[in-house]
């Protein structure tokens, strides 16, 4: 390999990765200098000139002229009789500059030099990819599905860089085949064994926020601010938005005419139900909005414990709780309050008071259920088991047994 081939191989890499000339020159000089130092045991007498534009490397060896017979190191010294053959005007003590030819390296050294150059280029490439994607954290990227495994998907971007979409970061219902295009957010960038590992996510709240920026110009321009996002991927999400311009309706702008703007986001998220809510610093009003589509009758807030008792008409309770308790869970996360739902007003004539079950359910268990606002059989059955475990001191097995007893009553 000659100098031109080495430069050309590096220039090709430079075009792909946009490496600046200064970095290229520095790496080439380092690689050559390391090889020459190994050959001559020193590099102090060597000058290396790299010309990226011409694709050329020149190496010059500086040798001191000494008396004949006094040459101790032929790598750094030259006899006077040999020096005047180059130029008759040379004198002892002066320096002779000789150009070092690539052919003088030897085949083994050339192969080693080439390997070192390749290694440095690879390191630079890895560092380049790491820096690019580190700056992209929180932004949406798209790529082609290259390989599908059980626990993750390998995605290639436009430049062929490898991105990982773990199963845990995929939306339930996501199904990708090789060759398909996938959109996700850059969630995390790590270095493992000196190689960048780029992790994507479709379940992160930031992905939903980035989709709003793409679909809603007012969000992208900063006219509408997304204050907070909470979501259960593939199921439901709540987005609190605020506008600093009174002329702009933030909810209307995010939803669009006949839902035109939000439909694209919903499709991307596998029909995830998205509630867009007007943000407010008034906690009562915020909780009321967060529990939409349920209509709240009244709210009692305990600021110290960050808890709130929410009273609703019986026909609004199931709406407030939502499928599997998702609505009340997300409302609690969005507002920062632990929400407990209580019925008020009319009583369902087909419902049964919990006190009627004292023969089958221990009284202390009934008291536990009443403490969270469940005073009838149906009010208990409308909640899911996980929610009851969270809100009471009852064990899972106990709750399952209570469910069985109450369900038998209506059967």
- Contact by Cβ (8 Å): 284, 301: yes
pTM of the predicted structure, to 2 decimals: 0.66
- Contact by Cβ (8 Å): 110, 84: no
Helix, strand, coil content of the chain in percent (nearest 5): 45, 25, 30
Check residue 7 and give its pLDDT: 54
Check residue 16 and give its pLDDT: 47
What stretches in the chain show pLDDT beneath 50? 1, 16, 346-347
Q: Scanning the structure block, which residue is given the tokens 């060896």?
A: 61
- For the chain, how many residues are written? 411
Residue 293, preceding peptide bond in cis (omega within 30° of 0):
yes
Check residue 53 and give its pLDDT: 66
């Amino acid at each position: 390999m000659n100098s031109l081939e080495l430069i050309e191989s590096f220039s090709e890499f430079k075009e792909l990765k946009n490496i600046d000339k200064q970095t290229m020159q520095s790496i080439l000089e380092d690689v050559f200098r390391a090889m020459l130092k190994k050959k001559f045991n020193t590099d102090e007498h060597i000058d290396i000139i790299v010309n990226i534009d011409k694709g050329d490397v020149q190496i010059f060896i500086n040798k001191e002229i000494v008396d004949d017979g006094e040459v101790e190191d032929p790598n750094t010294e030259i006899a006077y009789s040999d020096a005047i053959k180059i130029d008759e005007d040379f004198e002892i003590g002066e320096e002779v500059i000789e150009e070092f030819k690539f052919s003088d390296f030897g085949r083994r050294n050339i192969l080693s030099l080439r390997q070192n150059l390749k290694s440095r280029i690879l390191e630079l490439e890895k560092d380049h990819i790491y820096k690019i994607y580190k700056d992209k954290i929180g932004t949406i990227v798209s790529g082609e599905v290259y390989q599908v495994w059980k626990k993750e998907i390998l995605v290639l971007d436009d430049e062929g860089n490898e991105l990982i979409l773990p199963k845990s970061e995929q939306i339930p219902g996501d199904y990708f085949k090789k060759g398909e295009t996938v959109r996700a957010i850059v969630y995390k960038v790590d270095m493992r064994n000196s190689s960048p590992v780029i992790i994507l996510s479709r379940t992160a709240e930031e992905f939903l926020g980035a989709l709003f920026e793409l679909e809603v110009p007012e969000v992208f321009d900063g006219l509408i601010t997304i204050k907070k996002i909470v979501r259960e991927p593939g199921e439901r999400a709540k987005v609190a938005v605020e506008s600093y311009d009174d002329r702009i309706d933030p909810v209307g702008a995010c939803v669009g005419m006949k839902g035109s703007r939000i439909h694209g986001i919903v499709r991307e998220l596998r029909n995830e139900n998205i509630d867009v809510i007007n943000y407010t610093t008034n906690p009562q009003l915020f909780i009321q909005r967060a529990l939409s589509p349920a209509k709240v009758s009244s709210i009692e807030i305990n600021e110290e414990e960050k808890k709130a008792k929410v009273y609703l008409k019986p026909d609004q309770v199931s709406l407030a709780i939502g499928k599997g308790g998702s609505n009340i869970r997300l409302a609690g996360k969005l507002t920062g309050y632990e929400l407990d739902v209580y019925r008020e007003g009319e009583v369902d004539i087909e419902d049964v008071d919990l006190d009627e079950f004292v023969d089958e359910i221990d009284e202390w268990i009934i008291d536990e259920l009443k403490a969270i606002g469940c005073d009838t059989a149906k009010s208990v059955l409308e909640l899911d088991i996980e929610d009851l475990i969270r809100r009471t001191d009852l064990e899972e097995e106990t709750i399952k047994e209570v469910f069985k007893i109450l369900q038998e009553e209506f059967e």
